[in-house]
Structure 1
Amino acid sequence: MNGKKHLKIWVLAVLFFGHAAVLKGQSPQWTEVAPGVWKTVVGNPEDYDLLKAAGCLPKKGALSQMDKTVFPLNREEINGNVADGKTSLRFPLEKEEQVYGFGLQFKTVHQRGQILRLHVDHYGGRDDGRTHAPVPFYVSSEGYGVFVNSARYIEVYAGSAARKDSKNAPVARDRNTDENWTSRPYSDAVEILVPSAGVEVYLFAGPTPLDAVRRYNLFTGGGPLPPRWGLGFTQRVHKLYTDRQVTDEANAFEKKGFPLDFIGLEPGWQSKAYPNTFEWDRERFPQPEKFVRELSDKGVKVNLWVNPYVSPESPVYKDILPYTASHTVWAGIVPDLSIPEAGKVFWGQFRKKHVDIGVSGYKIDEVDGYDRYLWPDVTRFPSGHSAEQMRQTYGLLVQKQSAALFREKNTRTYGLVRASNGGGTSFPYVIYNDYYNHEDFITALINSGFSGVLWTPEARASKTAEEWLRRIQSVVFSPMAMINAWSSGTKPWSFPEVADEVKQMALLRMRMMPYWYTEFAKYHFNGTPPFRAMDLEEGFQQQPKALTLSDSEVDLEENPYAEAVKKEVKDQYMAGEYLLVAPMFTGQTSRKIILPRGNWYDFYTGEYAGNGEVITVAPGLERIPVYVKDGGIIPMMPARLHAPATGEKTDIEIRHYGEKQGYYLLYDDDGETFDYEKGAYTFREIRTRKQTNGKWKGSISRPERGKPNTIGKVSWRFMTGETKNKN
């Protein structure tokens, strides 16, 4: 009897401690796969993942030029475990640590405490992980990043749950008597659940959060380098416009003096849409080759709306049918674009009927969701990849494969897409959607910089002239300056009372092209996102009094678990190396702006604005508040209606702000081809210094022999002293 009792106790002990070991998991083994980038494998990863779908190639040369660093976390505190066919991961968090990222969020910048299910979908108004780019990459305020390379719907508990065996477990408190009670007890970990029996995980060192973001961007191919015209102004016309109406609209832009670099055609350019034929409608566009050529001769490119769902009347329907999914979308068949043969048939139509006649790019719609129209998760694809995996990667596949059409012709493209994911950093596409909240658009722009994607806060229609101008001001300081008038038919001059202000903003976008082009070159070559959160800016300090929700602002009747918390900075951002942008929203006559440490100056006047403080400004309707850090250099060109053509020289004015000596690397290439990949580019050194007589002087390095040189005459404007001279 005693023997049986001891055996029973021994079995229970084994079961108990064995179960505890499974819960705790194991510390993975890490291998440095690139400078400052470590990889581990937990369990048996699936053959198809985000990086394979994207096909991205790490920029190891650029990574090797970053500062040497060490493994940024305690290896013993990272755990991975496989159980029930699922992989769980656990990464430690410090008490004051904040985390950012997990894709394109629209309402929140601080992700600590969030519970997310990362799932490609049209954004539905809640930050729950269902979004256009649910990138499984997060950045810590401690200066490291984590990327989970899985094409599955991933569950994230971003510092929202506490383990009983945690070394820093929260203290139980009495809500009735303890003023330190909180509805969100301290959690010391980010925990992630991947619904597969294994996964690859990458860890990116800093030492700063921006360095970690840069390493991720470089590891996933570096940011795109758009053609110069892509950074100009674009108008998407009404969905049923004819060729004559499109041409008339382009002529109206020129006549009224509004810039226009590319024009977007919506579904009506096709003979049938929803599902699509990908054929020109010969009634609305009887001579598409002539139409595209004539617009090109005016300096205006053509961009075409598509989604990938094939109509039975499409010329590719029969050939692509064997490579399509079991379910349809709008009665159109869904190509399995992970199969090369499917891509050859599908994109062959695009090459022949669009790209070969001069079309410059695409707006690829509806590869994100909603569930009610996209393929369900029971769908079967001939490749054998699950419907879930295809949902998570379809945006990557259409970007990669469509961009390849233009690379074949040695010409760059720049377009729009509705879905992306981890690994898609290098693709020349900007995300957009059908949601239309101005404030949330700016939060999304801020969050895009954490996840290797681009986002445009486009303008469509407005109820008032004030709203229209405020939206235009935001798009001017974004990755794509776009009016999307597919439904409303809105024009830049639709509100006459602010038409001149809109024009001046659009021309400012054009004047700033040397700066925007250089900042995108930095994204490409060194991984620095051109638009990013204040949290990534060196010297940024959150002022507790200004940024904390007070107890008096908490409504316990409405939400019994509400409490005073730190506010997020989600209405101002950095644009390039030197600019701080603070949009104004409808109804605002003034706003608060948080200036990082260091002197900051008004972009328009050069006047001193402040240093590490919260300021209140009332800029008037015609201006969006913009500030330049001390020593900042902003290269500008004359206002013009179209971007410079390939090889065309342009005069530049170099502005310097503040009292620090300035230094800037101005990028130059032919503006349109991929010849820069063969070394046909330069970074020209710009320097400014104050002379012994107190006057400022600037210099720019000479162009390199045999390299592109599109810079004409150079003039200088020292904004603090307002002195001018010329080289």
Structure 2
Amino acid sequence: MKITLKLLILTIVTGCLSSHAQTPPISGMDNLEWEKIMPGIWKASIGETQLNALDYATAPKIEAIEKLGETSFPLNRESTQYLLGSSRASIRLPLDETEKIYGLGLEFEGINRRGNVYTLKVDHYGGVQGYTHAPVPFYISSKGYGVLINSSKRVKIHVGVGNRKDGKLPIPIDRTTGKNWAARPLSDAVEASVEGKGMEIYVFGGRNLLEVVQRYNLFNGGGVLPPKWGLGFWHRMNTHSSANDVYKEIEDFKKYDFPLDVIGLEPGWQDFAYPCSFDWDKTRFPNPEEFVQTLLDKDIRVNLWENPYVAPTSTLYNDISPYTGSHTVWLGEVPDFTMEEAQKAILHHHQKNHIDIGVSGYKFDEVDGYDVWLWPDHATFPSGNDAVEMRQLYGLIMQEMFSDHFKKQNKRTYGLVRSSYTGASNKDFVLYSDYYGHEGFVTALVNSSLSGLLWTPEIRSAKSAEEWIRRFQTVSFSPMMQLNAWASSTKPWSFPEVTDMVRDVVELRQKLLPYLYTAFYEYNQKGIPPFRAMVLESGYRSSEQIKDGKLDDSKNPYAEQNRIEVTD
């Protein structure tokens, strides 16, 4: 047996759930009422919601969903329940003893979510369960169904953790004298709640896990179909680079015989950054029109870095300031992009100063976390929308705004974004992060495919030539092959002893472009992720292996074990 992924620390429980002929009644909870809205898709609503993430998703591909055929409702309806309190809404959905749960957005550790509690908060990844760039409240079960908890509040979800006294309970075991005592006894439910007045719940059926994910992606418009150049090789310049530095870099790529499809300009292209002016620095780029056209003539696209916070020195400032929030980020004003006026102001500025001269796309940074940087939960916005919901949806709204803007002009774009959420599969953006652990690269790629996301592990630097080539190899099989040298100034040839090997990898990427483009077409038309977890593949079998935990009065007082996934 071969170990494929190290999973999160979970509890091994060998005791069986008590036998019940029927699901016991849950006190104080009401049954959810399900409405079939499309083949294999059901919806239930409780209470009221404010901002709706699905309002920023692309319209469903109904015909493609219909081609998948009908499926029966995959849950015991009597076991799907909710409770609506004065300040919190919660649901309880059934969970069998052997079910594995996958998804919940972009995660860098593990794949099976069962046995843990997640607070799904858009944030810079920091090891907290659920704090991540794209904490999508969508999970899929090994039994062949998926659940979307549609709320723009922060969803707190107990995945098989927490035992109601009126639910199915395991047989209690005395910790001192018995065996297999568990700190987290096996639970018979997924329980989720939001601090708010309601939520929507969607259930997606399927004959297998891939079909469940297909339905979810198609429900959100299918997957993105990037331009061919977007799947080529990207190189981001040092932030202090000038137009002349870029020209020299391009000549060096030619000298070392490396393909180059996109040049990314980092903060220094602007005359003020952190917050941003969105205006060209005329010292480094005295003639932006000529610069962009020169690169286009060489068949190289230009991608501009920015964060959305508007500097007082920006020529955009007066137009957008009336439509910004109560708090600043790095002393820049925060546009309320739920307002049409704010969207018009930012898009007009970008069109006039960037897109009209040939800029092909953007990298939207700093829309995820930390709390010490971004606006507080009690901030106010002129639209009246809640600051927590704004934080959850901010990156998604920016993706929708710019994707739609380019589409209206019949222009293709492909870019990067630092946060995302529900319904992002059809957006022209790839997630990235300041995550540097190579081991987590593959795990994040795996998990992103389960939640309608694209994620790229950027190449930045390495401690050795071997690590350098390994990072190139990994990134070559991701939605975007990019070297981000914004601080390091690294080049593909920075480790001379493996330059030929790196070139081979980049050339392999170029040779794979027809296959990659076909895979993305399948994503667009059928909802099949182009890079996906093995659990979505037909015939894949996995089991779990337990490594014994050792009782320790300081480091491991509950003697929890490590669960790892293995494949036959």
Residue 560 of structure 1 and its aligned partner are, at CA, apart by 2.9
1:99 equivalenced with 2:96 (yes/no): no
Residue 548 of structure 1: aligned partner? 545
1:130 equivalenced with 2:131 (yes/no): yes
1:388 equivalenced with 2:388 (yes/no): yes
CA distance in 1, matches of 2:224, 2:559: 42
Residue 108 of structure 1 and its aligned partner are, at CA, apart by 2.0
Q: Which moved more, 1:89-98 or 1:397-406?
A: 397-406
Residue 549 of structure 1 and its aligned partner are, at CA, apart by 3.2
Paired residues of 2:551 and 2:558 also in contact (CA < 8 A): no
Residue 247 of structure 2: aligned partner? 247
CA distance in 2, matches of 1:182, 1:275: 50
Residue 439 of structure 2: aligned partner? 439
Residue 209 of structure 2: aligned partner? 209
Q: Name the CA shift for 1:355/1:555 in 2 (closer, same or farther; >3 Å).
A: farther
Q: Structure 2 matches for 1:132-151, cutoff 5 A?
A: 132-151=133-152
Secondary structure of the residue that 1:343 maps to in structure 2? Answer: helix
Paired residues of 1:276 and 1:307 also in contact (CA < 8 A): yes
Residue 565 of structure 1 and its aligned partner are, at CA, apart by 4.7
1:25 equivalenced with 2:29 (yes/no): yes
TM-score in terms of structure 1 length = 0.73
1:80 equivalenced with 2:82 (yes/no): yes
Residue 39 of structure 1: aligned partner? 43
Residue 425 of structure 1 and its aligned partner are, at CA, apart by 1.4
Residue 538 of structure 1 and its aligned partner are, at CA, apart by 1.5
Residue 195 of structure 1: aligned partner? 195
CA distance in 2, matches of 1:565, 1:336: 44
1:49 equivalenced with 2:52 (yes/no): yes
Residue 113 of structure 2: aligned partner? 111
CA distance in 1, matches of 2:154, 2:547: 37
Partner amino acid for 2:63? Answer: G
Paired residues of 2:547 and 2:563 also in contact (CA < 8 A): no
Residue 393 of structure 1 and its aligned partner are, at CA, apart by 0.5
Partner amino acid for 1:463? Answer: K
Partner amino acid for 2:359? Answer: V
Residue 7 of structure 2: aligned partner? none
Secondary structure of the residue that 1:117 maps to in structure 2? Answer: strand
Residue 67 of structure 1: aligned partner? 69
CA distance in 2, matches of 1:127, 1:218: 30
Paired residues of 1:118 and 1:154 also in contact (CA < 8 A): yes
CA distance in 2, matches of 1:195, 1:201: 15
CA distance in 1, matches of 2:36, 2:198: 19
Paired residues of 2:309 and 2:329 also in contact (CA < 8 A): yes
CA distance in 2, matches of 1:57, 1:77: 31
1:559 equivalenced with 2:559 (yes/no): no
Residue 418 of structure 1: aligned partner? 418
Residue 19 of structure 2: aligned partner? none
Residue 117 of structure 1 and its aligned partner are, at CA, apart by 0.7
Residue 322 of structure 1: aligned partner? 322
Residue 405 of structure 1 and its aligned partner are, at CA, apart by 2.7
CA distance in 2, matches of 1:458, 1:563: 34
Secondary structure of the residue that 1:566 maps to in structure 2? Answer: strand
Q: Deviations for 1:170-203, whole angstroms, at most 9, x for unmatched residues?
A: 1101223332322221101000011112111111
Residue 535 of structure 1: aligned partner? 535
Q: Name the CA shift for 1:313/1:23 in 2 (closer, same or farther; >3 Å).
A: farther
CA distance in 2, matches of 1:308, 1:568: 41
Partner amino acid for 1:289? Answer: E
Aligned-residue identity in percent? 50
Paired residues of 1:24 and 1:79 also in contact (CA < 8 A): no
Residue 434 of structure 1 and its aligned partner are, at CA, apart by 1.2
CA distance in 1, matches of 2:25, 2:67: 41
Paired residues of 2:236 and 2:484 also in contact (CA < 8 A): yes
Residue 223 of structure 1 and its aligned partner are, at CA, apart by 0.9
Q: Deviations for 1:87-109, whole angstroms, at most 9, x for unmatched residues?
A: 11011000100101111111121
Paired residues of 1:22 and 1:81 also in contact (CA < 8 A): no
Secondary structure of the residue that 2:563 maps to in structure 1? Answer: coil
Paired residues of 1:223 and 1:524 also in contact (CA < 8 A): yes
Residue 564 of structure 1 and its aligned partner are, at CA, apart by 4.2
Residue 264 of structure 2: aligned partner? 264
Q: CA RMSD in A?
A: 1.5
CA distance in 1, matches of 2:335, 2:380: 12
CA distance in 2, matches of 1:345, 1:499: 45
Partner amino acid for 2:44? Answer: T
CA distance in 1, matches of 2:93, 2:26: 16
Residue 502 of structure 1: aligned partner? 502
Residue 435 of structure 1 and its aligned partner are, at CA, apart by 2.0
Residue 21 of structure 2: aligned partner? none
Partner amino acid for 1:164? Answer: K
Q: Name the CA shift for 1:327/1:563 in 2 (closer, same or farther; >3 Å).
A: closer
Paired residues of 1:42 and 1:82 also in contact (CA < 8 A): yes
Partner amino acid for 1:418? Answer: R
Secondary structure of the residue that 1:453 maps to in structure 2? Answer: coil
Residue 162 of structure 1: aligned partner? 163
Paired residues of 2:446 and 2:533 also in contact (CA < 8 A): yes
CA distance in 1, matches of 2:40, 2:546: 37
Residue 360 of structure 2: aligned partner? 360
Residue 718 of structure 1: aligned partner? none
Q: Name the CA shift for 1:538/1:248 in 2 (closer, same or farther; >3 Å).
A: same
Partner amino acid for 1:91? Answer: L
Paired residues of 2:457 and 2:478 also in contact (CA < 8 A): yes
Secondary structure of the residue that 2:405 maps to in structure 1? Answer: helix
Partner amino acid for 1:58? Answer: P
Residue 169 of structure 1 and its aligned partner are, at CA, apart by 1.1
**Runs of at least 5 residues in structure 2 that lack an aligned partner in the other structure:** 1-23
Q: Structure 2 matches for 1:598-677, cutoff 5 A?
A: 613=568
CA distance in 1, matches of 2:253, 2:39: 49
Q: Structure 2 matches for 1:687-726, cutoff 5 A?
A: none
Residue 51 of structure 1 and its aligned partner are, at CA, apart by 0.8
Residue 127 of structure 1 and its aligned partner are, at CA, apart by 4.3
Secondary structure of the residue that 1:532 maps to in structure 2? Answer: coil
Paired residues of 2:455 and 2:479 also in contact (CA < 8 A): yes
Partner amino acid for 1:110? Answer: N
Q: Deviations for 1:443-471, whole angstroms, at most 9, x for unmatched residues?
A: 11110011111111111011111111111
CA distance in 1, matches of 2:466, 2:531: 25
Residue 550 of structure 1 and its aligned partner are, at CA, apart by 2.8
Residue 313 of structure 1: aligned partner? 313
Paired residues of 1:117 and 1:153 also in contact (CA < 8 A): yes
**Runs of at least 5 residues in structure 1 that lack an aligned partner in the other structure:** 1-19, 570-593, 595-612, 614-727
Residue 465 of structure 2: aligned partner? 465
Runs of 4+ in 1 over 6 A off after TM superposition: none
CA distance in 2, matches of 1:410, 1:554: 61
Paired residues of 1:548 and 1:564 also in contact (CA < 8 A): no
Secondary structure of the residue that 2:500 maps to in structure 1? Answer: helix
Partner amino acid for 1:538? Answer: S
Secondary structure of the residue that 2:564 maps to in structure 1? Answer: coil
TM-score in terms of structure 2 length = 0.93
Secondary structure of the residue that 1:85 maps to in structure 2? Answer: coil
Paired residues of 1:34 and 1:63 also in contact (CA < 8 A): yes
Secondary structure of the residue that 1:116 maps to in structure 2? Answer: strand
CA distance in 2, matches of 1:442, 1:372: 30
Q: Name the CA shift for 1:171/1:156 in 2 (closer, same or farther; >3 Å).
A: same
1:296 equivalenced with 2:291 (yes/no): no
CA distance in 2, matches of 1:138, 1:236: 34
CA distance in 2, matches of 1:204, 1:254: 49
Residue 540 of structure 1 and its aligned partner are, at CA, apart by 1.4
Q: Name the CA shift for 1:23/1:323 in 2 (closer, same or farther; >3 Å).
A: farther
CA distance in 2, matches of 1:537, 1:100: 14
Paired residues of 1:485 and 1:491 also in contact (CA < 8 A): yes
